[in-house]
Amino acid sequence: TFMLAVSPPHIIWSIEARGYAPMIFFTLLSSYLYLRLLPHPTKRDAFLFVAASVCGAYVHLYSVFVTLVQILLFLYISNTVSAKQPDQQITKPSIRILLVSFLTIAILSLIIYIPLLGPILRDLAGRGRSDFNPFFPWTVIQTLTGSESKGMAVLLIVVSALGWFSLLKSNRLEGRYFIWLLIGPLLIMWIARPFDLYPRFFAYWLPYYLLFFILGLRSLWQFAPRGNVWLVSSRMLSGLILIVVLHNWSANWRNYIPNEGYREASIAIARDADDSVAFCAIGGARSVWQYYINRPILTPLSVADLQKLSSNHAELRCVYYEATWQSFEQTEIASYLSQHASWQRVKGFTLFRYRS
């Protein structure tokens, strides 16, 4: 719990106005209830399990992968019951109540995404696929590690692998479930290569990564094949690793804060603007600017639309983020403004000042 609280990625995701922190929370809650329902099914836990899973899918679509992993593991272990090889961690009442729960989750998740299905499908078809990145899994792990140091990432991976093996010895079901929460979805999306694929989409796995790490430290702490010398050495090594990781986090966490430049660009575009000035956003991610500029944001759809808007104001200031997925009309507006307006670049954004 302490490691999760001070983990740089968890801190950053918790202060961003995005869905990653609730994604982590609902995955934790859903997983806890899922592992309770397998041996001890109750209607109360089933209701909470459905609610947590649907809320997870609502805050971030990748939470659906958590439910898919749960279904696949459920099918695997329930098959051992049907084959008269009873698994002590699942019962026949569990099978019935989980089947109903998964069906309910699927229906409710579909309902909440029905209004967005059209835009999502158009977005997927319009943006196409990204180039294959052979190092994407490493980027995901390094992001979850919370350090730009490759050595630190390797250290956490090695210790976490040790922790996972120790978990398999004592809690085989949980060990399988926690590791497949990452491996399954990561392999699918790595191969599928959607245009928008970012390491932060796998934020939900951070608590389990840290759990493996702590279990690895515990294994080192308890490792003593011969006498007191080995016991002292293993405990010193375990404590040293923990100190190194915490020191690295405390010394470098500010470097982990992303700065995409929206704030600086917003300050620059709004400087010395009176009531006669109107603001517009063109290019990609146009809706994002409403969180940075405390004025109404116009979104012209064509050059003619831009000219019409500008005729009603003394000056039109436009922020432009050039994106590969933007429409031809947005590119045409940017080209028109570059010829007929003054402009400047701030943190990768183009700021136009246009007078008709």
Distance CA 117, CA 59 (A): 15
Q: Tokens standing for 51? A: 């609610």
What pLDDT is recorded for position 87? 47
Q: Are 173 and 224 in contact (CB under 8 A)?
A: no
What pLDDT is recorded for position 227? 57
pLDDT digits (tens, 9 = 90+) for 186-222: 999 999 888 888 899 999 999 999 999 999 999 988 8
| pLDDT level of residue 235 (50, 70, 90 thresholds) | confident
Q: Quick check: 226 pLDDT over 90?
A: no
Distance CA 79, CA 92 (A): 11
Three-state DSSP at 350 gives: strand
| pLDDT level of residue 182 (50, 70, 90 thresholds) | very high
Short-list 44, 75, 3, CA closest to 250: 3
Long-range contacts, 89-96 (Cβ 8 Å, 24+): 89/38, 89/39, 89/173, 90/38, 90/39, 91/38, 91/39, 91/41, 93/41, 94/37, 94/38, 94/39, 94/40, 94/41, 96/41
Sheet containing 349-354: give its strands across.
297-298, 277-283, 315-321, 349-354, 342-346
Mean pLDDT over each residue of the chain, to the nearest integer: 89
151 Cβ neighbours under 8 A, 6+ residues apart: none
What pLDDT is recorded for position 187? 95
| Position 165, amino acid | F
Short-list 290, 291, 267, CA closest to 280: 290
Of 55-69, 80-94, 236-250, 261-275, the range with the lowest mean pLDDT is 80-94
